[in-house]
């Protein structure tokens, strides 16, 4: 070519706004042996396909590079990106490097597009898009010729919907290519297809999903399908664009961009180059007789054919009975099976359970895999991952209950009455601290009420104070398997980050260590307060809870009794008396504990006028074993006789007050019996000769029933009120001692425990609801649920090194606290199916609401409100490189103790199960392993103390599934380790229970762990963390297994070198 040097020099001196891009770059030539000449900094200006190189911004252009018949190669690293221009003419390569990574990436984009062929490609693409838009608008333009009345009736553009089964995907199809053309004859292509959608109403091209990469063939059979969920706006008029890319080398960190780049697509796929594209209408595929389209792939300019694409319609649930031998050799080497993505929640019980499930699950993502079985048949696997609204609902309900409970406790402390100065100052200090904590709970609840957006907490938010009650990455992972000859099977795993107080940190360990240390310190408090054991403190809370629960019930039943008497209704009178008697007996029984008596004495000595005769001394361990005796007769406290207005404490007074309630109830019963006997309605009751009736002054039985019962009921209420007043004050005094002995550590530990419990409970409620919906038609499971209870097995993958040891301690306590949670199933009275939480700390009841049709399927015991028990167990095995350090240089005692303790709990559940349940109620598995043998094997593996013994996790999971339990898998953030464990478990189930072909085990595992098939997810976003990442693995992209199995010696060397470099850096 001939160029006018003067014109080029004049062009290079144009103002900055004239150029497409300009800036400083380090530039050098690459000589023939591959060596680089020393790079020199140049001011570069790009205009069209001309790149001007200048020494500085104001100097003359020293060189002009014509960007024709060349291509761009990027070399990426963690810190920068460099560019190499390669020329087809054989000229030396031109090396370019920018000052920053983003700047270099932007240069790569503009240089890749700076050529005449690229401009022509843009023009052709715009022309095709204009033609597509014109075709879509033709129907709109036709409306101009309609009468105005018809136009008004049409309203929005009318599109033809795709008719499918309710709650099933609207459209599914699979893809395959044939006769793809490579750049060179001897090159084997590594291809994938990117799927984009042109919406008929918006005329905007939207990237939707992509297939897996198929390596080494020009006829790839893509076993990754495409699915559009039920709510997706897709119609017969919708157009779908399929773009085929060639991946040069996945293992190298380079990106090759062709001369004709597809600039509209994200540049996130490593080493890809454009091959061809095609477009089709959805209606053409749906209405085709063979339900298949064969489309021609063309280059961007539309002039060259580079192969064909076969699009085959897929209908969910239609199994293929054909043999797998018809798959070509190239296809046999591929590593993934049919995958589909959708966002539809599936329920096995039909439409009736969809509203209640949809109230709990949100934003589910489904995939479908098709794998060959050992007998050369196809099985379909639907995999679903869904968020849950319970991530925020349960913590908000809990915090609200905490606030009410703490406000009630503060009021009870204020109602203690007049206390001696020492105790009064202690009470003021406790109330002040409690008010601060109450304000913290209220602020947290207010912040959670403002939360909008995602229904789960991402891992990058685990350190946020306002979200510390929210579980991390709580999801349902469901696998639904359909085999040719086996019954459909459903396998659920709840994945969640380890319940732990991340914001508070783990510098001093977790709850397990902190609680033990706090209890030891509290025993040695000294004379400031009276020590009550944790058991006594828990008993005091239980007594207060029973009072608050039973007193209004008794009062209500007493009123109902009087109402029945006023109506002169014998049957109603009997029923009211029965309920009143039952609740009063429960009320009286709640105060039989010796703790109430001893607390009353302690409270008496704390009143003004009582002083310490001698100071208390720290108690020995032998004295601690006799707490009740010390509390009954505190030798260090004596009353001062010089104060006459106080009488001596009468220890029998409480017995008389407490017994008056029972006597008053007997009087009511005797009177009702006499009234019914005289009325000749009921049978003659033997209560006339009841000696307890001798204590009652029975009124004459003539006259109105109401008038005769009223004074007796009032007496009962008065006696009960006296008992409640004394018992409340005594128990509040016990709680005062608990709080005063450990301020402020006691309240901070309570807060930490509440945080951990909130995270654990949210997962448990989710798991229970999902399990209940799944087993509604399984009578054996429902019988087990109300007869024995539900086994909940947690699989922990935390190491016992550094902070994760503290997380494990928190998690162990949080899961153990779930033993005190009870479930109750009720019939929903409205469209709100979210669970309702009642109760107090250490005693919560979760009311799960079901629609009427589902509620009728339950056994009578559950429908009558029987409380359902939970049996949570935790087995932990650290599997990462930090666990190797812990095993070599640290301590694994924590993990061993947790596994041993929970093994005993699992054995207790199995013993209870075998005593109350028939063996035929258990689910049937292909692998008929004896449960007793599995438990023994688990016991041996725990005792063996083998390093990274993952057999413990597999055995525990198998036992849980065989006992109809709920499975949880947890690690620090419920991402990499959790996902590896879940996918390995799923493939193992397919192999053991559904005859997955042995040659496809690794391929199935690779498919489930692949990031490439993430679909419509933004490739720069982590779907679980919600954070922008830089080449970080997403929730389905995992570190290689080899990283977990690397030699411990190499890890030691790596650790030493890292420490040496770190020291050198800061010296």
Looking at per-residue confidence, does 300 or 94 come out higher?
A: 94
- Looking only at Cα atoms, what is the longest distance across the chain? 131
Q: Quick one: which of 1009, 909, 1019 has its CA closest to 209?
A: 1019
Q: Are strands 868-876 and 378-388 parallel, antiparallel or unpaired?
A: unpaired
The first and second tokens of residue 1024, run together, are 């679980």
**Interval 468-507: pLDDT, tens:** 999 999 999 999 888 877 788 889 999 999 999 999 999 9
Looking at per-residue confidence, does 677 or 254 come out higher?
A: 677
How many Å from the N-terminal Cα to the C-terminal Cα in the chain? Answer: 60
Separation between Cα atoms, residue 975 and residue 756, nearest integer Å: 19
Q: Quick one: which of 445, 528, 540 has its CA closest to 743?
A: 528
Separation between Cα atoms, residue 173 and residue 1043, nearest integer Å: 36
Fill in the DSSP letter of residue 57: T
Lowest mean pLDDT among 118-122, 583-587, 809-813, 1042-1046: 1042-1046
Fill in the DSSP letter of residue 244: E
pLDDT, average across residues 734-763: 91
pLDDT, average across residues 209-216: 81
% of the chain surpassing 70 pLDDT: 75
Which of left, alpha, beta for 395 (phi over 0: left; psi -120 to 50: alpha)? alpha
Handedness of CA 563, 566, 571, 576 (dihedral sign): positive
**Interval 798-817: pLDDT, tens:** 999 889 999 999 999 999 99
Mean of the per-residue pLDDT values of the chain: 78
Only one residue has tokens 């209908």, namely: 315
pLDDT, average across residues 99-117: 79
Q: Quick one: which of 173, 172, 171, 174 has its CA closest to 331?
A: 174
Looking at per-residue confidence, does 770 or 652 come out higher?
A: 770
Lowest mean pLDDT among 207-216, 527-536, 802-811, 1032-1041: 1032-1041
pLDDT, average across residues 78-90: 75
Q: With a cut of 80, say whether residue 618 has pLDDT above it.
A: no
Q: With a cut of 60, say whether residue 642 has pLDDT above it.
A: no
The first and second tokens of residue 362, run together, are 């949100």
Which pLDDT band, with edges at 50, 70 and 90, does 983 fall under? very high
Query: How crowded is residue 79: how many other Cβ atoms within 10 Å of its Cβ?
Result: 7
Separation between Cα atoms, residue 595 and residue 654, nearest integer Å: 12
Lowest mean pLDDT among 264-268, 284-288, 734-738: 264-268
Annotate 794-817 with b (16+ C-beta within 10 A) or e (fewer): bbbbbbbbebbbbbbbbbbbbbbb
Selection from 55-64, 483-492, 570-579, 957-966 with the highest mean pLDDT: 957-966
Q: With a cut of 80, say whether residue 686 has pLDDT above it.
A: no
Which of left, alpha, beta for 538 (phi over 0: left; psi -120 to 50: alpha)? alpha
Lowest mean pLDDT among 68-82, 142-156, 179-193, 824-838: 142-156
Separation between Cα atoms, residue 766 and residue 390, nearest integer Å: 7
Q: Are 362 and 249 a contacting pair, CB within 8 Å? A: no
Lowest mean pLDDT among 216-230, 975-989, 1008-1022: 1008-1022
Handedness of CA 823, 826, 828, 829 (dihedral sign): negative
Which pTM does this prediction carry?
0.72
DSSP string computed for 3-15 = --HHHHHHHHTS-
- Whether 667 is a known active-site residue: answer no
Lowest mean pLDDT among 399-403, 419-423, 985-989: 419-423
- Kind and range of the H or E element at 81? strand 81-87
Selection from 307-321, 388-402, 987-1001 with the highest mean pLDDT: 388-402
Which pLDDT band, with edges at 50, 70 and 90, does 963 fall under? very high
Separation between Cα atoms, residue 764 and residue 871, nearest integer Å: 11
* pLDDT number for residue 444: 95
Q: What is the 3-state secondary structure (H, E, C) of 472-504?
A: ECCEEEEEEEECCCCCCEEEEEEEEECCCCCCC
Q: Are 302 and 128 a contacting pair, CB within 8 Å? A: yes
* pLDDT number for residue 411: 92
Only one residue has tokens 């594209």, namely: 277
Only one residue has tokens 């060596």, namely: 35
| Identified catalytic residue from 277, 529, 610, 971 | 971
Q: Where are the beta strands (DSSP E) in 391-469?
A: none
DSSP string computed for 101-150 = HHHHHHHHHHHHH-SHHHHHHHHHHHHHHHHHHHHHHHHHHHGGGS-HHH
* pLDDT number for residue 58: 83
Residue 30, SS3 per DSSP: strand
pLDDT, average across residues 635-645: 33
pLDDT, average across residues 236-241: 91
Looking at per-residue confidence, does 584 or 112 come out higher?
A: 584
Say whether the peptide bond before residue 157 is cis (omega within 30 degrees of 0): no
Selection from 14-18, 267-271, 331-335, 894-898 with the highest mean pLDDT: 894-898
Which pLDDT band, with edges at 50, 70 and 90, does 132 fall under? low
Handedness of CA 560, 565, 568, 574 (dihedral sign): positive
Q: Quick one: which of 372, 141, 179, 69 has its CA closest to 999?
A: 372
């Amino acid at each position: 070519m001939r160029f006018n040097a003067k014109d080029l020099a004049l062009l290079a001196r144009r103002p900055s706004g004239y150029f497409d891009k300009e800036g400083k770059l380090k530039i050098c030539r690459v000589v023939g042996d591959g060596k680089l000449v020393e790079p020199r900094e140049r001011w570069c200006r790009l205009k069209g396909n001309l790149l001007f190189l200048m020494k500085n911004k104001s100097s003359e252009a020293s060189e002009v590079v014509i960007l024709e018949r060349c291509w761009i190669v990027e070399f990426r690293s963690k810190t920068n990106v460099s560019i190499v221009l390669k020329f087809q003419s054989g000229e030396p390569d031109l090396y370019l490097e920018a000052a920053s990574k983003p700047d270099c990436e932007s240069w790569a984009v503009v240089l890749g597009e700076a050529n005449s062929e690229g401009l022509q490609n843009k023009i052709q693409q715009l022309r095709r898009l204009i033609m597509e838009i014109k075709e879509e608008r033709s129907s709109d333009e036709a409306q101009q010729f309609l009468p105005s009345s018809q136009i008004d009736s049409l309203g929005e553009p009318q599109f033809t919907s795709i008719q499918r089964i309710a709650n099933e995907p609207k459209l599914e199809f699979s893809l395959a290519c044939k006769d793809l053309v490579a750049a060179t004859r001897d090159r084997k292509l590594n291809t994938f297809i990117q799927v984009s959608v042109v919406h008929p109403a918006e005329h905007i091209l939207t990237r939707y999903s992509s297939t897996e990469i198929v390596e080494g063939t020009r006829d790839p059979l893509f076993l990754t399908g495409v699915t559009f969920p039920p709510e997706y706006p897709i119609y017969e008029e919708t157009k779908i664009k399929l773009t085929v890319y060639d991946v040069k080398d996945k293992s190298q960190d380079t990106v090759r961009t062709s001369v004709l780049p597809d600039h509209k697509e994200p540049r996130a796929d490593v080493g890809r180059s454009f091959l061809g594209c095609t477009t089709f209408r959805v209606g053409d595929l749906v209405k085709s007789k063979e339900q298949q389209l064969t489309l021609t792939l063309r280059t961007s300019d539309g002039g060259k054919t580079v192969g064909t694409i076969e699009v085959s319609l897929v209908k969910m649930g239609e199994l293929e009975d054909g043999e797998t031998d018809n798959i070509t050799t190239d296809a046999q080497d591929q590593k993934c099976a049919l995958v589909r993505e959708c966002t539809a929640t599936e329920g096995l019980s039909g439409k009736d359970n969809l509203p209640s499930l949809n109230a709990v699950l949100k934003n589910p993502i489904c995939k479908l895999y098709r794998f060959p079985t050992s007998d050369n048949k196809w099985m379909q696997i639907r995999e679903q991952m869904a968020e849950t609204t319970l991530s925020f609902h349960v913590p908000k309900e809990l915090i609200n209950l905490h606030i009410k409970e703490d406000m009630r406790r503060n009021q009870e402390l204020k109602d203690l009455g007049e206390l001696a100065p020492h105790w009064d100052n202690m009470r003021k200090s406790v109330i002040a601290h409690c008010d601060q904590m109450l304000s913290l709970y209220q602020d947290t609840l207010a912040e959670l009420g403002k939360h909008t957006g995602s229904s789960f907490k991402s891992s990058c938010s685990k350190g946020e104070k306002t979200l510390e009650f929210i579980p991390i990455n709580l999801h349902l992972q469901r696998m639904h398997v359909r085999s040719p000859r086996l019954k459909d099977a459903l396998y659920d795993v709840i994945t969640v980050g380890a319940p732990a107080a991340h914001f508070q940190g783990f510098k001093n360990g977790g709850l397990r260590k902190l609680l033990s240390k706090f209890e030891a310190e509290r025993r040695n408090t000294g004379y400031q307060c009276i020590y009550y054991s944790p058991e006594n403190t828990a008993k005091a809370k239980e007594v207060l809870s029973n009072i608050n629960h039973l007193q209004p019930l008794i009062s209500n039943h007493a009123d109902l009794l009087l109402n029945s008497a006023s109506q002169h209704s014998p049957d109603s009178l009997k029923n009211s008396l029965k309920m009143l008697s039952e609740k009063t007996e429960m009320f009286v029984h709640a105060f039989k504990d010796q703790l109430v008596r001893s607390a009353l004495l302690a409270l008496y000595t704390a009143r003004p006028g009582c002083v310490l005769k001698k100071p208390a001394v720290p108690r020995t361990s032998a004295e601690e074993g006799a707490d009740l005796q010390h509390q009954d007769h505190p030798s260090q406290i004596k009353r001062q006789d010089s104060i006459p207005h106080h009488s001596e404490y009468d220890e029998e007074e409480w017995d008389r007050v407490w017994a008056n309630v029972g006597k008053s109830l007997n009087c009511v019963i005797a009177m009702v019996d006499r009234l019914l006997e005289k009325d000749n309605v009921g049978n003659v009751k033997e209560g006339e000769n009841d000696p307890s009736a001798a204590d009652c002054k029975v009124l004459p039985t003539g006259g109105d029933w109401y008038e005769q019962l009223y004074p007796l009921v009032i007496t009962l209420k008065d006696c009960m009120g006296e008992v409640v007043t004394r018992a409340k004050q005594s128990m509040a005094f016990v709680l005062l001692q608990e709080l005063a002995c450990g301020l402020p550590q006691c309240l901070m530990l309570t807060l930490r425990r509440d945080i951990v419990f909130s995270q654990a409970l949210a997962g448990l409620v989710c798991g229970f609801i999902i399990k209940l919906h799944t087993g509604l038609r399984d009578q054996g499971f429902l019988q087990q649920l109300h007869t024995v209870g539900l086994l909940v097995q947690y699989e922990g993958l935390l190491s016992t090194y550094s902070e994760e040891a503290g997380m494990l301690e928190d998690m162990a306590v949080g899961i153990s606290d779930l033993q005190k949670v009870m479930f109750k199933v009720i019939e929903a009275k409205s469209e709100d199916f979210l669970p309702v939480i009642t109760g107090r700390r250490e005693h919560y009841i979760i009311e799960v609401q079901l629609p009427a049709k589902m509620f009728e399927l339950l056994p009578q015991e559950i429908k009558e409100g029987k409380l359902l028990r939970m049996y949570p167990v935790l087995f932990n095995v650290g599997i990462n490189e930090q666990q190797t350090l812990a095993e070599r240089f640290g301590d694994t005692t924590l993990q061993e103790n947790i596994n041993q303790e929970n093994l005993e709990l699992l054995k207790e559940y199995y013993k209870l199960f075998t005593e109350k349940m028939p063996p035929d109620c258990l689910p049937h598995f292909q692998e008929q392993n004896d449960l007793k043998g599995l438990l023994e094997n688990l016991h041996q593996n725990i005792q063996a103390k083998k390093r990274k013994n993952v057999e413990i996790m597999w055995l525990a999971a198998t036992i849980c599934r065989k006992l109809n339990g709920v499975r949880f898998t947890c690690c620090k953030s419920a991402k990499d380790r959790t996902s590896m464990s879940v996918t390995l478990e799923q493939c193992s189930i397919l192999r053991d229970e559904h005859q997955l072909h042995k040659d496809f085990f690794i391929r199935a595992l690779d498919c489930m762990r692949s990031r490439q098939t993430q679909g419509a997810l933004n490739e720069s976003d982590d779907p679980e963390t919600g954070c922008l990442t830089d080449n970080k693995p997403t929730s389905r992209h995992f570190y290689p297994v080899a990283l977990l199995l690397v030699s411990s010696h190499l890890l030691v060397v790596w650790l030493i070198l890292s420490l040496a470099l770190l020291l050198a850096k800061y010296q």
